[in-house]
Amino acid sequence: MSDASELSPFDPDVPNPARMYDCFLGGSHNFAADRAAAGRVEENVPWVVAAVRANRFFLGRAVRFCLAEGVDQFLDLGSGIPTVGHVHEVAQRVSPRARVAYVDVEPVTVASAAALLDGDARTTITAADMRDPDAVFDAPGVRDLLDLSRPVALLTVSVLHYLSDEDDPVALVERYRRRLVPGSLHVLSHVTGDHDPDPMAAAERVYRGTATPLTFRPRRRIEEMLAGTELVEPGLVDASQWRPQDPADAQHRGFWAGVGRIGQYRRV
């Protein structure tokens, strides 16, 4: 199921961070410009693949945590290409009834996802700009799949760094959380330069030449994005340290990550 209208122009000669992320994960949904830019990042940050894998491992653990908490609906913003080990695979392996609404704005990502998900009635991909929550919630792939009278897991994993400070990601995620009932969960990860400032600053310069530059933020700024939620233990930590179960030698620090419980909001 999909809503695959294109919302942004496609130029294979301009590197795209979503497709670069696919490169780091060893995927095939990318172009020469993406691979070249990913290579420049890796020249400056040799451990980038290990850090990206740590973030992917965190995503899997967080999805399983949500299911253990009884939350079997997922709204994945800026989902990227749902390749091996992505949300619907992890969730439906635990609970075949799990529903996953993917949302992304990049046309190749949406088209690739639609092809991969063809025939999966419990998973959708919607072409929408996450900066417009009303458009996201009103899209058929979200509106007709998720039951908002029940808890939902809001996933903003490795996506909020694509928003500039002018986009005000703190206020944006608050708008999403206000649409969700108590008992919902907010899963977040965000790239940072806190651990390795000089190499990450060089990587940030590479991303300035892509379709969507990144904003590397410090822990205190990322923590604000979960303000108003009840942080699940161990709180906001490096992705590799959030309830670790995966081999430490396959990972590297680089993403702050956490899960917050969404409580009661006064409806307006």
C-alpha distances out from residue 38 to 22, 46, 190, 226, Å: 10, 11, 18, 29
Domains in the chain with CATH codes? 2-261 (3.40.50.150)
pLDDT at 10: 66
Q: Which residues lie across from 238 on neighbouring strands?
A: 256
- Please give the biggest Cα pair distance in the chain: 50
pLDDT at 126: 95
pLDDT at 9: 60
Q: How far apart are the C-alpha atoms of 204 and 218, rounded to whole Å?
A: 14
Q: How far apart are the C-alpha atoms of 91 and 157, rounded to whole Å?
A: 15
The SS3 call for residue 163 is coil
Task: Kindly report the number of other CB atoms within 10 A of residue 234's CB atom.
Answer: 12
Tokens 């609404």 sit at which residue?
101
Determine which helix (DSSP H) or strand (DSSP E) holds 115, and give its type and residue range. helix 107-116
pLDDT at 66: 98
Q: Which two tokens stand for residue 56?
A: 């992917």
pLDDT at 183: 96
Angle (CA) 172 239 134, round 5°? 20
What string of pLDDT tens digits covers the 268 residues of the chain? 444 334 556 678 888 887 888 888 888 778 899 999 999 999 988 888 889 889 999 999 999 999 999 999 999 999 887 776 789 999 999 999 999 999 998 887 888 888 888 878 999 999 999 999 999 999 999 999 999 999 999 999 999 999 999 999 999 999 999 999 999 999 999 999 998 888 888 888 898 888 788 899 999 999 999 999 999 999 999 999 999 987 777 788 899 999 999 997 544 3
Determine which helix (DSSP H) or strand (DSSP E) holds 93, and give its type and residue range. helix 87-94
C-alpha distances out from residue 8 to 15, 77, 124, 143, 208, Å: 14, 16, 19, 22, 18
Q: How far apart are the C-alpha atoms of 193 and 178, rounded to whole Å?
A: 30
Q: Which two tokens stand for residue 200?
A: 């990450």
C-alpha distances out from residue 203 to 33, 45, 161, Å: 16, 7, 13
Residue 211 burial (CB < 10 Å; 0-12/13-18/19+)?
A: buried
142 within 8 A of 100, measured Cβ to Cβ: no
